[in-house]
A and B are shown apart, each in its own frame.
Chain A
Amino acid sequence: MGRPRLWRVVILVAALIYFFGPLVASIKYSLIQANGSYSLGNYAQILSNGALRSSMFTSLEIAGIAAVAVVALMLPTVVLVRLRLPQLTLLVEGVTILPIVVPPIVIAAGLAHLQGSAPEWLVRLWFNHPLPALTPVYVVLAMPFTYRALDTGVRAIDLRTLVDASRSLGASWFTTLTRVILPNVETAVLGAMFLTIALCLGEVVIATIMLYVTLPVQMIQVGAASPGISVAISILSFLFVFVLLFLLSFLAGRRRGSSSVRVI
């Protein structure tokens, strides 16, 4: 590759300053204690908080299921539209862009209305725990960028050839999707799953209105006690999700060279 070019260095340094500058500035406030001194006390307090731990498991469950579900739902749809139903492209793109455009407060209001007019047995069955109630909604919220990322990924490979080759070798559609297409759009799938996980671990509006205690909701509650703690929580949650995704990127394993197309 040789020495990194100027255009790369410039943007990478600029990005570093723009993104990490404000974060570093926040860190100063996260160290403020009630008596005015600076120390890591806030961080210690947060890490030992039991309520945060239980809401963390709830949110991780929701995030894991939503990330898998959204890809399982969208990848076949993207492939189908590209291969067989291109006339539906604009319609599907329009439908999948809606969740990101309609403000969460409106979705929350609509959802709360629905809950209010649903029969009580359904409310007790479905709305009483965040896992069944929030996961489907988060999958919907994840659709816009999932569709876009997967569509971009699928456009970048020679879908028709891959599918024809795989099918003519006798593979079923399921095998074609999981063992032929999926490995070739790995970056797109990972990107979509990462964004979905980050969404689930950061969504507060709907969870708060619907009175569920997920990790981000709990963090706000814990942070209400002191200014230092609430800022410390933001920093910690940033680190937590970052480390989680960083480790997940290793699970995805195989090196992808952009010049080769893998078929297993």
Chain B
Amino acid sequence: MGDPAARRRRGIARPAGAAWLGMLPFSAYVLIFLGLPLYEVIHGAFTNDSERLTLSNFSAIFSQSQYLIPLENSLILSAWTAALGAIFGTWLAAAVVASPAGSMLRRVVSSASAVLAYFAGVPLAFALIAALGRPPGGVITTWLKHIGIDLYASGFNISSLFGVGLAYVYFQIPMMVILITPALEGLRPQWQEAAENLGATKLAYLRHVAVPVMAPAFIGALLVLFGNAFGAYATALALVGSAIPLLPAAIESAINGNVLVNEDRIAFALGVEMILVVMIVMVLYGLVQRRARRWLQ
């Protein structure tokens, strides 16, 4: 790539450092507009009220169950909503991509997916309450009660972690549709035809051609979905309120709640904890991608 001989062969003369220069706009932008706000958070997490460096905020959040329980809940919730979103999103995207580009179905689904992906928050929470809330408020639950199935009597409540999960899947699927569609479009129909000509069944084509080609995009999108659920909060807030045992709720209550008991730094430490979790997930993701690449050769 950077081999001078190869470059000469291609007839393209480029100074070696030019590529790094090209990363400058992105790096500068990220440093200023992401780095600066995050710096406040990181700085706050590692200092105490007298502005001295300390790890006390972190020892607090890793030792007390009031912070460990939200961490566990957030991890589990993000994992299953990302998985469901990825699977059903890919299925839905595949169904839509089968239509010709520019068809009405495609346009409607791509527009609707973008809106639904950001429908989260109060509107989504209320839509779910309107559908699955306590009777006589929830349309579907009331109808089910009418025909003999009383969901609320058997313990279901939309105002719960499970209800929040249902809400998350609601925006995870559309986000997946948007992220995976370019990869699905990259599956040339000629490949399927060629495979069939060589005697492969549909399943074999899927297993040996489609899945390996899609794998990196699928896993990458899964990562985004995980992060999306991990950091989401507005919907949970609207459905259950700020007492819900999720990590962003713990952060918000530390920031918003008691001015008298200054919990700002705990909130920042929790923010750094979220970044740490994602860094760990990124490492796992990198390992999976590398293994997938090797498996595909």
Which residues of A approach B to under 8 Å, CB–CB? 1, 4, 7-8, 11-12, 15, 18-19, 21-23, 25-26, 28-29, 73-74, 76-77, 80-81, 84-86, 88, 90, 92-95, 97-107, 109-111, 113-114, 136-137, 139-140, 143-145, 148-149, 151-153, 155-157, 164, 167-168, 185, 187-188, 190-191, 194-195, 197-199, 201-202, 204-205, 220, 230-231, 234, 237-238, 241-242, 245-246, 249-250, 255-259
Contacts and interface: CB of A to CB of B under 8 A. Distances in A.
A160 B291 CA distance: 24
A95 B185 contact: no
Interface residues of B, number: 108
Contacts of A12: 92, 95-96
B178 interface: yes
Interface stretch (B47-55, B59-67, B204-212, B270-278): B270-278
Interface in B217-249: 217, 220-221, 223-224, 227-228, 230-234, 247-248
Contacts of A111: 37
The 9 closest A-B pairs by CB, nearest first: A156-B186, A110-B37, A234-B123, A194-B114, A22-B127, A245-B111, A25-B130, A84-B19, A103-B248
B15 interface: no
B119 A11 contact: no
A15 B179 CA distance: 17
A85 B186 contact: no
B231 A15 contact: no
Contacts of B97: 258
Contacts of B138: 25
B101 A256 contact: yes
Nearest to A5: B98
Contact of A105 (B101, B186, B255): B255
Nearest to B25: A73
B41 A109 contact: yes
B189 A259 contact: yes
Contacts of A19: 112, 116, 170, 174
A95 B121 CA distance: 25
A18 to B, nearest CB: 7
A76 B36 CA distance: 23
Given A28-B139, A100-B227, A145 B178 contact: yes
B154 interface: no
A100 B92 contact: no
